[in-house]
Structure 1
């Protein structure tokens, strides 16, 4: 029977092999890395992963070599985001590193049991739960039907900031896009004051600047805004214009997780969100 030390050594070697395999499948072009000269190996180089994830090159090299070093949840989250790991791969990474579960999963599991019930009972009002980094943690069927396609996205990509700036569907549906995008960037920058040392926040900001010139332009303006409730206009590809009161409800006195609701402001929008709910329910029954 293998000893505890032998188990740990095997796990470190498996972690090293896993990281190399995930790194080699991502092209530099996918990550906005400029390539010069001939590359002997496919995918990203170690130093490129380290830079994109915001960790030291030597430290990341040791991790890929299977050395016995400690790794934090924040660093694992940054590496998972950089390597574009799906939920299963992300969980595997944390297991190999000796961590019980990804932080985003813990966010979801930390939600009160009443939240899924509440989201369902709010139907047909679209509603979602997000954290301070704008990760979508939970949502009801009408919300998913309104924005479309969330169930097919990796957990790391279910993020308002990323979707607003990189999803053609989200951009086309948001009629007041310039104002909405600027508002979101200003709120993200304000949140960075409290979270700027966290690898997951730095990794998201770096990814956004690489993938969206619009985000980089707005980011460099250094605007900040506090959370606020307002009216949104949303153009759905099937039911048309939705006019919705956007409301934010925090889940606790010190919580950064909040329930967001989209309440129709007129009878026309009420009829349309009811149609979205009916369509979502019909698809769920198939």
Structure 2
């Protein structure tokens, strides 16, 4: 069974998504004046071919069973995209098989790969966005990771709590929103870093405001525009590579998107870390 925290998160997610849909969007007549925003519960239940009682219990966060098939019908009824559907399934306890637990003891071949990728900044990140390993270029650009506590060596935490990141990223609000939406799609129920969301709620007003919106997305083209304190404007296109032996982690390589950034990479690994 899914625990209480996840059931309540699922209930809130469903209510928000239902409120954002209009009858016209799903082919229903507008009818008489409505007392609620969006669709009614019985309309969602009808579209998903399920009982209104069962759907109501789901929105109330009750401890009920739900099949994968019924949740997939619900995703179609609520017009969820692939990232939002994955999030719905995770909250319901239907995690994809490839997200099974696995130790993050990375072997030497991963460290060697990171070193060989220099001068490109590269790091290994878990699905909960903990940074597991990095090369010197990544450490100078986004770190120093080695000076952070394990619970703080997390890209979501850094994006919302480090003032240096607000200066480092040229469009910080866009960067932070993309980070949050991508995190929710990737990692909300991933193992590790307990209490991260609670600590962020306490620490960051922006996080407190944006987290309840339930925005879920994986940006297709997420260029990182950086204003480095020494090197000036830098532009990177992230390349995410799956690690076959580590299904809960991926290798991220920041590739330069212009000539000036490419030239600056020769100097980057020898500079002080940005967060110092």
Q: TM-score, normalised by structure 1?
A: 0.55
Deviations 1:108-163 (A, max 9, x none): x1x24311111111110000100011000000001111123222111211100010
Q: For 2:177, which of 177, 182, 206 is the aligned residue?
A: 182
CA contact (8 A) 1:125 1:273 kept: yes
CA contact (8 A) 1:233 1:241 kept: yes
Which of the pair is proportionally richer in helix? 1
Partner Cα separation in structure 2 for residue 157 and residue 232 of structure 1: 21
SS at 2:120 equivalent: coil
CA contact (8 A) 1:247 1:260 kept: yes
Give 1:154's aligned residue: 149
Work out whether 1:122 is the aligned partner of 2:117.
yes
Distance 1:190 1:266, change over 3 A: closer
Give 1:135's aligned residue: 130
Give 1:264's aligned residue: 256
Deviations 1:28-65 (A, max 9, x none): xxxxxxxxxxxxxxxxxxxxxxxxxxxxxxxxxxxxxx
Give 1:218's aligned residue: 210
Structure 2: stretches of 5+ with no match in the other structure: 1-101
Q: Report the alpha carbon displacement of residue 279 of structure 1 after superposing the two structures with TM.
A: 4.0
Q: Report the alpha carbon displacement of residue 221 of structure 1 after superposing the two structures with TM.
A: 0.9
SS at 2:255 equivalent: strand
Partner Cα separation in structure 1 for residue 178 and residue 245 of structure 2: 24
Partner Cα separation in structure 1 for residue 154 and residue 226 of structure 2: 18
Work out whether 1:251 is the aligned partner of 2:246.
no
Partner Cα separation in structure 2 for residue 115 and residue 273 of structure 1: 21
CA contact (8 A) 2:128 2:188 kept: no
Partner Cα separation in structure 1 for residue 258 and residue 220 of structure 2: 21
Give 2:11's aligned residue: none
Q: For 2:197, which of 201, 205, 212 is the aligned residue?
A: 205
Q: Report the alpha carbon displacement of residue 202 of structure 1 after superposing the two structures with TM.
A: 5.7
Deviations 1:247-282 (A, max 9, x none): 1111028812000011111221112111112447xx
CA contact (8 A) 1:229 1:247 kept: no
Q: Relative CO higher for 1 or 2, CA cutoff 8 Å, sep ≥ 6?
A: 2
Q: Report the alpha carbon displacement of residue 228 of structure 1 after superposing the two structures with TM.
A: 3.7
Deviations 1:77-129 (A, max 9, x none): xxxxxxxxxxxxxxxxxxxxxxxxxxxx941x1x2431111111111000010
SS at 1:125 equivalent: coil
Give 1:165's aligned residue: 160
Partner Cα separation in structure 2 for residue 216 and residue 137 of structure 1: 26
Q: CA RMSD in A?
A: 2.4
CA contact (8 A) 1:189 1:219 kept: no
Work out whether 1:230 is the aligned partner of 2:222.
yes
CA contact (8 A) 2:165 2:172 kept: no
Partner Cα separation in structure 2 for residue 117 and residue 254 of structure 1: 16
Structure 1 runs of 4+ aligned residues shifted over 3 Å read: 191-195
CA contact (8 A) 1:230 1:247 kept: no
